[in-house]
A and B are shown apart, each in its own frame.
Chain A
């Protein structure tokens, strides 16, 4: 059916517009159907298959058995080996999140105070690495770490340490590298929050006699809390599910959830157990992201209503 009529604007009057809901009906679904079909077939179905897989049994000699059992979940929840892995991953994610907040928030504020073109330039320098593969960034850290790597040789030649600091194959190194990989997300989140703030509020605080530190603590920081928390949620979720950086810099002994799933799937070939770990990771991710986001939105609804 052709759109035959377009209202002609009368002189001096606003043109009456057609409603944007153009007899919705089937049209939007038709337009979205190719993508929708792909997603249902290649996203929902595989995820469902994986859930089912996690309930199968596994025998070292016979492979995957099509029984249905809770055994894999019981094993993951009761075995100390997996407790250690989950704790290590949780601790890593928490540490990286804190580092990103402590170091990323001040930098974003400093950026906001810059004049163009510096502000845009440095924003690109900080966010650009997101477009470079994580393998490249992790390789850089692998070169920097290492007993004869750049960091240790500099520290020792400056006399700060007498022995090489163990960074490669240590959680410290993994945390530093992950912070490097994920801090742009914190900057993005706080930056977006900053754009919504009224710059005059800061000036008002100063003109009323508060010291700059007090203005930062009592005026700026509370307003930035939603952005900091949203960024923190993203960083936490991404570091908890990180694979390449812990795999390359942590080594075989320091497993995190993602590398443990890889291990079960591609080394031990215990697919049901690998699927179980993957499903638990997915569940944790969804719960953290959706739950925490909802809490932030409710708690800070005034900021989002702006």
Chain B
């Protein structure tokens, strides 16, 4: 392939600038020393808004809620995705394509529709405000991501070591635990982390089913921004950006970020 000329590189620079501009702006604003949205260049940088996060009980509560919700949802999603992935890759059976499509279908359904449907369902069986049911809806939304990553590890897996273990007398479960699981662990760990991120970030569907007692951080931020934009919410956003970067670093070590973001080539 030919090299990039000057014009291409300039275009690329502008494109990258476009991509990072909103994120950079959010981070800059969070360091302002003033009481309103402004850049910290003239008056100087300040950490007052990060300290203000610690004083904001709502934000703190929403943060912990999102954290526990993400941990629970991602773990349940992985527990369901691993046997599901094994079923899909190891067996040829009628209905396999349909099953796979079914599990991936949440990707095709607008989150608004999911939010409406879940809210209707919750009120019908009277479980609005329940953490467990909210987690279950998150599981539905994030399972495609977990499944995709576990599948990428499980597909084409060499079964010889597993067969050797079975022929030496290991039970199926032991063979799975001691042989298969370590082999698919990168996909499982990466799938868990991606699922966690998707749950933590989820907004549109959660907006419908959240209640004052079950408010996630994105929902709290959305409600705040809808009223007024202040540096406090920018500071929270900065924390989220940095946190996501950290998780991305770990994911890169475990699975390789390109596999997570694009899929196996």
Interface residues of A (CB under 8 A from B): 2-6, 18, 20-22, 24-25, 27-32, 34-36, 38-39, 42-43, 45-47, 49-50, 53, 103, 106-107, 110-114, 120, 122-144, 150, 177, 180, 183, 188, 191-192, 195, 199, 202, 206, 212, 237, 241, 243-244, 247-248, 257-258, 261-262, 265-266, 271, 274-275, 278-279, 281-282, 285-286, 289
Chain A residue, CB-CB nearest to B265? A195
Q: Which residues of A contact B245 (CB under 8 A)?
A: 128
29 pairs of residues in contact across A and B, judged by CB atoms under 8 Å: A6-B163, A20-B91, A21-B92, A24-B93, A28-B87, A35-B143, A42-B136, A45-B121, A47-B113, A53-B120, A106-B8, A107-B11, A113-B8, A124-B252, A126-B16, A127-B261, A127-B262, A129-B19, A133-B200, A133-B221, A137-B23, A192-B262, A192-B263, A202-B1, A206-B2, A244-B203, A248-B225, A266-B208, A271-B120
User: Are A188 and B25 interface neighbours, CB within 8 A?
Assistant: no
B116 part of interface (Cβ distance < 8 Å): yes
Q: A6-B164, A107-B12 are in contact. Are A143 and B240 (CB under 8 A)?
A: no
User: Are B15 and A35 interface neighbours, CB within 8 A?
Assistant: no
User: Are B116 and A278 interface neighbours, CB within 8 A?
Assistant: yes
Question: Chain B's nearest CB lies how many Å from the CB of A124?
Answer: 6
Q: A46-B117, A135-B203, A139-B237 are in contact. Are A32 and B22 (CB under 8 A)?
A: no
B75 part of interface (Cβ distance < 8 Å): no
Find the residue from A35, A125, A195 having the highest chain B CB count within 10 A: A35
User: How many residues of chain B get a CB closer than 8 Å to chain A's CBs?
Assistant: 94
Q: Which residues of B contact A132 (CB under 8 A)?
A: 23, 201, 240-241, 244
Q: Which residues of B contact A46 (CB under 8 A)?
A: 117-118, 120-121
Q: Which residues of A contact B54 (CB under 8 A)?
A: none
B137 part of interface (Cβ distance < 8 Å): yes
Chain A residue, CB-CB nearest to B116? A278
Q: Secondary structure of the B side of the interface?
A: helix
Chain B residue, CB-CB nearest to A282? B113
Supplied contacts A34-B79, A144-B25, A262-B207, 12 more A-B pairs, CB within 8 Å: A20-B90, A28-B87, A38-B139, A113-B4, A114-B4, A123-B258, A133-B218, A137-B22, A139-B225, A140-B23, A258-B110, A285-B110
CA A238 to CA B197, docked complex, whole Å: 19
Question: Chain B's nearest CB lies how many Å from the CB of A145?
Answer: 10
User: Are B90 and A3 interface neighbours, CB within 8 A?
Assistant: no
Chain A residue, CB-CB nearest to B27? A140
B119 part of interface (Cβ distance < 8 Å): yes
Question: Chain B's nearest CB lies how many Å from the CB of A266?
Answer: 7
User: Are A139 and B120 interface neighbours, CB within 8 A?
Assistant: no
Question: Chain B's nearest CB lies how many Å from the CB of A18?
Answer: 8
Q: Which residues of A contact B84 (CB under 8 A)?
A: 31-32, 34-35
